[in-house]
Amino acid sequence: MALYGVVADIHGNREALAAVLDELDRRSVKDVVCLGDVVGYNADPDECVEMVRRRCAVTIAGNHDLIGLGRLDFRRCSSKAEYSLRRTRSTLSRASVSYLASLPANHILEDGVVLVHGGVRDVQQYMVTPALISENAAFLREDFPGASVCFFGHSHEQKVYEVQGDAVRELPGRQHCLAREWTYFVNPGSVDASRKRGAPLAECALFDSGRMSVEFLRVPYDSAASEAKAAVFGYRIDPLTDRFYTLKRRFIGGVSRARTALQRPHGSQPR
Ligand SMILES: [Fe+2]
Ligand SMILES: [Fe+2]
């Protein structure tokens, strides 16, 4: 049992990651774990990979890490994500590629505590509704028997969902005590705040596995610096390219649907 700093969705934002790690140091947190998406969106992927490699005891792979490596394609990406990930692919160092390629899909942190990036079985799933949490609670029971706490990232919002049998409820607030008899899905929020509205704050969580407590942290960082670098080094899509990517995605989606329809046995209807 230990006190953990839980970080996720860094997305190449060195300033935000440095601010979060400084805060965790200030609070004497030794063990930091990362739920993936180290790269994407911002201009310092190699620096963030190196910071994570040095500071995090455990890191798992996010979909942006896998797309950056070419292990996943762009089909489930937004135009903004695709554009910045094409840039990321072209710039990642060999050392970063090697590190990201070594990351596991999930991790059992300690007895009963599991780390995933998106859904329990789908790295690109956004677990954002009670129905999806309920479905994933069933996957958690099957894939990780005995697990009662699942940390996840990907949806970039600080959340705690409590699962009691078939009932799922979102718990309000920034500090939580987890009951040992129920199951919890916890998102520490996103270190990178470049796509959020309002004052940009880098997010993470503290998890005390002895006390079964979660505290959400929000830390200011130099967002002007990270934003300027992203613009200068070609990580921000312009409106025309955005439009082109959207049309391309629609065309590819249409072709794919037409192919599926042609392959369907004659007379059968889509469900
Ligand atoms: Fe992400
Ligand atoms: Fe993600």
pLDDT digits (tens, 9 = 90+) for 197-213: 888 999 999 999 999 99
pLDDT at position 252 is: 79
9 C-alpha vs ligand 1 centroid, how far in Å? 4
End-to-end Cα, the chain, rounded Å:
48
Instruction: Read off the pLDDT band of 266 (50, 70, 90).
Output: low
Identify which ligand lies nearest to the alpha carbon of 125.
2
Identify which ligand lies nearest to the alpha carbon of 61.
2
113 C-alpha vs ligand 2 centroid, how far in Å? 20
pLDDT tens-digit readout, 235-264: 999 889 888 888 888 887 778 778 877 787
Q: Are 224 and 21 in contact (CB under 8 A)?
A: no
pLDDT at position 59 is: 98
263 C-alpha vs ligand 1 centroid, how far in Å? 34
36 C-alpha vs ligand 1 centroid, how far in Å? 8
Sequential DSSP letters for 53-122: HHHEEEE---HHHHHHHTSS-STTS-HHHHHHHHHHHHH--HHHHHHHHT--S-EEEETTEEE-SSSSS-
pLDDT at position 257 is: 76
Identify which ligand lies nearest to the alpha carbon of 189.
1
Whether the model clears a pTM of 0.95, i.e. scores above it, the answer is: no
66 C-alpha vs ligand 1 centroid, how far in Å? 12
Of the two residues 77 and 258, the one the predictor is more confident about is 77
Instruction: Read off the pLDDT band of 96 (50, 70, 90).
Output: very high
pLDDT at position 261 is: 78
